[in-house]
Structure 1
Amino acid sequence: MLERNSFLTPIRILIFSNRVEFHSPGRLPNTVSIESIRMGASHVLRNPRIYSFFVRMGLVTDIGSGVARIIKLVKESTGKDVILEETEGEFILVMPRRGQ
């Protein structure tokens, strides 16, 4: 069976009334775990193109700190936790929406 090329598969953003889901194709690199992402200790660029774009716009601080900031801000805003999940073919981040 041929392995799906995650570089050709687009990132999907799904918007629901109670959450927003980000589906990024491919598995996490060997040195990265969901726990290390939660702590902001992950320093492997998953999407260098997106990172480069945000650097040019001045929207990036430190590599690996984005998801930890998302977790903190979502918890402060909604009182709910962000869900991080890895499946066979993608990494998923689920952000609950306010008031749901």
Structure 2
Amino acid sequence: EAVANALMHRAWDVNAQIRVLMFDDRIEVTSPGGLPVGLSEEEYLKGNVSVLGNPILGNIFYRLHLVEILGTGIRRIRESYRDSANNPEFEVSENSIKVTLPVMNVLKLSEDEELVYKALSKTMPRSSGEITEAVPFGKSKTTTILKKLVKNNYVTVVGRGRGTKYKL
């Protein structure tokens, strides 16, 4: 989304390139050219108004399904980080716009582990019985998977004994 925005909104009359830098903890996308005349930084950051630097390219991206709806890029980027501890940053200057996207942890889970993981919540701890009801296998397999997820620090244990619950 950030790269598509950079291409569609960049100032094509500026002799500079879009820059994409990848680091272990973030990705930075910098587009030459500032905001279009008449568009405030506040409007840009809220994602309420979009003025395409290149409407033809924007239409092509839309028709190729590379963007969903024109004018929703910033909101969609923010939404994708809604449950993340780190949020994207947007820096608007007179001659460039820089979007910094924190790298979210990518979990390496088997299909069964993913089912158990998806049955968990960040805010509401769930018992192994509740989790077992939400997945297509028995309590023994669910418990084994939960123990592995805890060992890999993907899941946190809350309580002890019969009151043991699990959360993300």
Mark yes or no: TM-score above 0.5. yes
What is the CA-CA distance between 1:49 and the residue it aligns to? 5.5
Unaligned runs of 5+ in 2: 1-12, 106-168
Unaligned runs of 5+ in 1: none
**Equivalences for residues 79-94 of structure 1 within 5 A:** 79-94=85-100
Give me the TM-score of the superposition, normalised by structure 1: 0.76
- For the residue of structure 1 that corresponds to 2:86, the secondary structure is coil
Name the one with the larger helix percent: 2
**Amino acid in structure 1 at the alignment position of 2:101:** M
CA distance in 1, matches of 2:17, 2:66: 22
Give me the TM-score of the superposition, normalised by structure 2: 0.48
What is the CA-CA distance between 1:50 and the residue it aligns to? 4.4
- Partner residue in 2 for 1:75: 82
Task: Evaluate the alpha carbon distance shift between residue 12 and residue 53 of structure 1 in structure 2; reply closer, same or farther with a 3 A threshold.
Answer: farther
Task: Give the ranges of 4+ consecutive aligned residues of structure 1 lying more than 4 Å apart after TM superposition.
Answer: none
CA distance in 1, matches of 2:59, 2:21: 23
Q: Deviations over 1:65-92 (max 9, x none)?
A: 111110110233x322211112232111
Q: 1:58 and 2:68 equivalent?
A: no
- Partner residue in 2 for 1:16: 23
- Partner residue in 2 for 1:25: 32
Report the RMSD for the aligned CA atoms in angstroms. Answer: 2.0
- Partner residue in 1 for 2:113: none
Name the one with the larger strand percent: 1
Aligned length: 93
Q: Decide which of 86, 93, 101 is 1:95's aligned counterpart.
A: 101
Query: Looking at both structures, which has the greater relative contact order when contacts are Cα pairs under 8 Å and sequence separation is at least 6?
Result: 1
Checking the alignment, whether the CA contact within 8 Å between 1:34 and 1:84 is kept in structure 2 is: no
CA distance in 1, matches of 2:94, 2:78: 23
